[in-house]
A and B are shown apart, each in its own frame.
Chain A
Amino acid sequence: MKFKLKIWRQENAQAKGKFVTYELDNVSDDCSFLEMLDQLNETLVDKFDKPVCFDHDCREGICGMCSLYINGRPHGNDSGITTCQLHMRRFKDGDTLVVEPWRAKAFPVIKDLVVDRTAFDKIIQEGGYVSVNTGGIPDANAIPIKKVDSDLAMDAAQCIGCGACVAACKNASAMLFVSAKVSHLALLPQGSLEAKERVDNMVSKMDELGFGYCSNTGACEAECPKEIKISNIARLNREFFVSKLG
């Protein structure tokens, strides 16, 4: 297969970026999108050019590190997958592919397609946990939990923190990400004791870090590689409201 690639190149955080066009031939339809970029980078190294920087690690859709905006969609034109799980057979021979980094104020570009997502870590640090220390814990079966609650908590806990929800949102809101963690813990008895403080602290941190407000467009849910549901945002809003009632 042959592709025309328009890729965002940006020297560093301060530099002004631009699209650069590359032609790439002999791409196997079996290879993944990131393997296609590896192949492009080999050709750049051959010419003593700087390879395109992009974040990636596990390449099996779970670490959440890969983060490309392909032809106007986070993680490309397939649903329920990350960029590393996107295969070139999903495209047509001769296609033009536009590749950009996540675009959000809270995720500044570091270089080329690499962005800084430490804002997500900072939100988790505000309360995305149950405050227990190691050791001195009662038996695991001492707290029975309804299967349905546990399953719902697991649905939310599957978030991989990739940031596609923010990239997809026209307001660059982090509501789906925050709601996934708030829901995961609020649904479980272990997490419910601190639910009020958690939602308060995490939401104010999210606002402080420059993420936008949620206007319920649902773009986040449509693009989430783990198909985290927007009903989590409803639960977050409810938790937030309840916390304000005192």
Chain B
Amino acid sequence: MAQIESKIPKGPVAEKWTLYKDGQNLVNPANKRKLDVIVVGTGLAGASAAASLGEMGFNVKIYCYQDSPRRAHSIAAQGGINAAKNYPNDGDSVHRLFYDTIKGGDYRAREANVHRLAEVSNSIIDQCVAQGVPFAREYGGLLDNRSFGGAQVSRTFYARGQTGQQLLLGAYSALSRQIKKGTVEMFNRTEMLDLVIVDGKARGIITRDLVTGKIERHAAHAVVIATGGYGNVFFLSTNAMGSNGSAAIQVYRKGAYFANPCFTQIHPTCIPVHGESQSKLTLMSESLRNDGRIWVPKKKEDAEQIRKGLLKPTAIKEEDRDYYLERRYPAFGNLVPRDVASRAAKERCDAGFGVGATGLAVYLDFATSIQRLGKKVIEERYGNLFQMYEKIVDENPYETPMMIYPAIHYTMGGIWVDYELMTNIPGLYAIGECNFSDHGANRLGASALMQGLADGYFVLPYTIQNYLANEIRTPRIQKSMQEFESAEKSVKERIDKLMSIKGKHSVDFYHKKLGKIMWDKVGMGRTKESLTTAIAEIKALSVEFWKDVRVTGTKDELNPELEKALRVADFLELGELMAMDALNREESCGGHFREEHQTEDGEAKRNDIDFMYAALWQYKEGKAAELFKEPLVYEVVEVKQRNYK
């Protein structure tokens, strides 16, 4: 078995990052100009990395599939970004943020990486304020904070309900400045279709110009993928329509380890599914759980009447309501972590207490808070979210409780990286949601923005130099090399194959089928049986897809059907990998819940003796993927059973 080399620096956890920076190699300014870096993706991680590398003097090329880098899905994050500033003087510290993140991740993340994340969190806030990000402020002119699930301090900075938007526009403005300066070259409406490896090192990518269909080669000394998560495997998720796992699967096929693919986050507060034609799910910010109380009817007959539309929730008496989170978890109540809240909702609905037409919904009720604080305060806090809800559901949440249900939201698993954020392919880096590194088996609210910007502004721009310092003698990479030619050829063959099938069913038909398998069998509750069935079904679906998919139009034009077909082909591969990983992990931890492994009162039961490791999968052509293990060693944090009761 290959030795997993995570390159964690020596020394105490709190000093590792400083020691690393003190000892790492740097590239001098004259040499930076001679080095090219490719960054794929313009979300928080990609845009911040490209801007920072450009400022340093590297030649950067950056790509996005949308019409502008400002569209990346980081823009949709609502709630906030965590940092250990301790401005509210409530006892926060770098250590506490580090500890909460490790615990929230159910002890499945790497200590050294998470500590570094907590260390740089404060610099992110400084950086964003300097860029002009309009964070919420107090009347005294200083920054305001609020609290989020899984923490006992207020460490979340926010810009109304649009924190992701404002942070992304900050990174986009820094990126725009570098584009103007010529240090960064921007490729809009361009999608990566393969990685090019020369002599074992990542040296470029093959792309498709989405407007003309032209397949192009791009070469560099290093390649960074910042392409986000793969939640769209489930078809219905809170991800953007174009969010995909293709770059991750492409590098996986070229030998990069895919770590913990089964760790997906299911967000408890989303607007429930309404019908067959639905294309995506809308998240309602976790911050709503600060003032909303979650309940279902106590009596099954009430729930049935509600489902038939014969009874209104407001008609149910207080004593006939089951505030199940407050009942089960008195200490954290409605603010338990996401995985716990999601499972509890599913448990009630499966038991027959669900509401809404489908029975797959629970109430999030603001009546108590409106009574206590007044409608005006609630409106100030959540006005835009209430309005959004009303537009979609056509009900007024000030008068009748909101209906919510869990939905796929984020993927903690991803491409394996070492301490330097480099994959096991030299010169290939993965940053932001597309890597596996910081959130373990469950991510805390307001930590995704923190990680994306930490990687892009403050980690990668350092660590990549440690690699590039040894590349200063490597001349510009030539696109005419045979490796580029053969990668381009295989991309073209894949496209030709998809175009030539001309089968019976549309791409969406297969995507929806895959989504259903994933949600039913690899979703919130997983069993050995459901996973084994899922693997067989996905395999069969994949065969059917490659035999019978219909892609209309041509390859030499703007063709969204072809774009989707390429992505769904990759999702099929990813879905199988996720199910395999979930099958292997015989324990319940964080977002991964194996029904065989639960305590008597239905809580997740971890197995630290056998599974305290990151599961690394390596692609084997024509065979099952091979499993490698990176043991997780906790030097500082004492490993405990999570308890929110």
Interface residues of A, Cβ cutoff 8 Å to B: 11-12, 27-28, 30-32, 34-36, 38-39, 42, 44-46, 48-51, 53, 55-65, 80-81, 85, 87, 89, 110-111, 114, 116-118, 120-121, 124-126, 128-135, 137-141, 143-147, 150-151, 153-154, 157-158, 160-161, 184-185, 188, 190-191
Closest 6 pairs between A and B when the two form their complex, measured CB to CB: A144-B141, A129-B173, A154-B134, A140-B129, A125-B180, A134-B52
Residue in chain B with minimal CB distance to A148:
B139
A residues within 8 A CB of B48?
134
A51-B560, A53-B558, A129-B174 as given contacts; A116 in contact with B67, CB under 8 Å: yes
Q: Would you call B129 and A190 a contact (CB within 8 A)?
A: yes
Is B609 located at the chain interface by the 8 A CB criterion? no
At the interface, is chain A mostly helix, strand, loop or mixed?
loop
Q: Would you call A135 and B140 a contact (CB within 8 A)?
A: no
- Bound CA–CA A58/B188 (angstroms): 17
Complex partner residue of A135 from B70, B137, B458, CB under 8 angstroms = B458
Tell me the minimal C-beta distance from A61 to chain B in angstroms.
Answer: 7
Residue in chain A with minimal CB distance to B561:
A51
A55-B67, A111-B557 as given contacts; A137 in contact with B242, CB under 8 Å: no
A residues within 8 A CB of B141?
144-147
Q: Could you list 17 further interchain pairs (A-B, Cβ under 8 angstroms) beyond the known A121-B186, A124-B176, A158-B165?
A: A34-B279, A57-B73, A59-B240, A87-B391, A121-B68, A125-B176, A128-B176, A129-B176, A130-B132, A133-B52, A134-B457, A137-B129, A140-B125, A157-B169, A158-B162, A161-B68, A190-B129
Interface CB pairs A-B, < 8 A, 12: A35-B279, A51-B561, A58-B76, A58-B240, A63-B71, A111-B557, A121-B176, A125-B177, A129-B176, A130-B130, A135-B458, A153-B132
Tell me the minimal C-beta distance from B136 to chain A in angstroms.
Answer: 8
Q: Would you call A45 and B188 a contact (CB within 8 A)?
A: no
- Bound CA–CA A59/B388 (angstroms): 12
Of A116, A157, A160, A185, which is in contact with the most chain B CB atoms at under 10 Å from its CB? A157
Q: Would you call B550 and A135 a contact (CB within 8 A)?
A: no
Q: Would you call A144 and B142 a contact (CB within 8 A)?
A: yes
Q: Would you call A184 and B132 a contact (CB within 8 A)?
A: yes
Is B66 located at the chain interface by the 8 A CB criterion? yes
- Bound CA–CA A110/B560 (angstroms): 13
B residues within 8 A CB of A151?
134
A residues within 8 A CB of B242?
57
A residues within 8 A CB of B75?
58, 62-63
A42-B506, A137-B126, A190-B130 as given contacts; A117 in contact with B68, CB under 8 Å: yes
Q: Would you call A131 and B67 a contact (CB within 8 A)?
A: no
Complex partner residue of A53 from B125, B177, B560, CB under 8 angstroms = B560
Tell me the minimal C-beta distance from B90 to chain A in angstroms.
Answer: 15
B residues within 8 A CB of A158?
162, 165
A residues within 8 A CB of B55?
133-134
Complex partner residue of A39 from B169, B277, B280, CB under 8 angstroms = B277
- Bound CA–CA A225/B458 (angstroms): 35
A residues within 8 A CB of B560?
51, 53
Tell me the minimal C-beta distance from A226 to chain B in angstroms.
Answer: 9
Q: Would you call B71 and A126 a contact (CB within 8 A)?
A: no
Q: Would you call B461 and A141 a contact (CB within 8 A)?
A: no
Q: Would you call A130 and B173 a contact (CB within 8 A)?
A: yes
Tell me the minimal C-beta distance from A168 to chain B in angstroms.
Answer: 19
Tell me the minimal C-beta distance from A75 to chain B in angstroms.
Answer: 12
Which chain B residues (36-57) contact chain A, with CB distance < 8 Å?
A: 48, 51-52, 55
Interface residues of B, Cβ cutoff 8 Å to A: 48, 51-52, 55, 66-73, 75-76, 85, 87, 123, 125-132, 134-143, 159-160, 162, 164-166, 169, 172-174, 176-177, 179-180, 186, 188, 211, 238, 240-242, 274-280, 282-283, 387-388, 391-392, 394, 457-458, 461, 506, 508, 550, 552-553, 557-558, 560-561
Inter-chain residue pair count (beta carbon < 8 A):
215
Q: Would you call A128 and B134 a contact (CB within 8 A)?
A: no
Q: Would you call B173 and A118 a contact (CB within 8 A)?
A: no
Q: Would you call B132 and A190 a contact (CB within 8 A)?
A: yes
A residues within 8 A CB of B142?
141, 144
Tell me the minimal C-beta distance from B285 to chain A in angstroms.
Answer: 12
A residues within 8 A CB of B127?
132, 134-135, 137
A137-B130, A144-B141 as given contacts; A42 in contact with B275, CB under 8 Å: no
Complex partner residue of A65 from B67, B169, B283, B392, CB under 8 angstroms = B67
- Bound CA–CA A190/B174 (angstroms): 14
Residue in chain B with minimal CB distance to A54:
B560
- Bound CA–CA A15/B283 (angstroms): 40
Tell me the minimal C-beta distance from A4 to chain B in angstroms.
Answer: 19
A residues within 8 A CB of B73?
57-58, 63
- Bound CA–CA A35/B241 (angstroms): 11
- Bound CA–CA A56/B277 (angstroms): 16
- Bound CA–CA A132/B553 (angstroms): 46
Complex partner residue of A141 from B143, B159, B275, CB under 8 angstroms = B143
Complex partner residue of B174 from A30, A59, A134, CB under 8 angstroms = A134
Q: Would you call A154 and B132 a contact (CB within 8 A)?
A: no
Of B166, B240, B388, B458, which is in contact with the most chain A CB atoms at under 10 Å from its CB? B240
Residue in chain B with minimal CB distance to A64:
B71
Q: Would you call A62 and B506 a contact (CB within 8 A)?
A: no
- Bound CA–CA A20/B553 (angstroms): 17
- Bound CA–CA A111/B123 (angstroms): 43
- Bound CA–CA A197/B130 (angstroms): 18
Q: Would you call A120 and B394 a contact (CB within 8 A)?
A: no
Complex partner residue of B140 from A50, A59, A132, A144, CB under 8 angstroms = A144
A residues within 8 A CB of B87?
141
B residues within 8 A CB of A51?
552-553, 560-561
Tell me the minimal C-beta distance from B186 to chain A in angstroms.
Answer: 8
Q: Would you call B132 and A61 a contact (CB within 8 A)?
A: no
Tell me the minimal C-beta distance from A166 to chain B in angstroms.
Answer: 14
B residues within 8 A CB of A188?
132, 134
Residue in chain A with minimal CB distance to B87:
A141
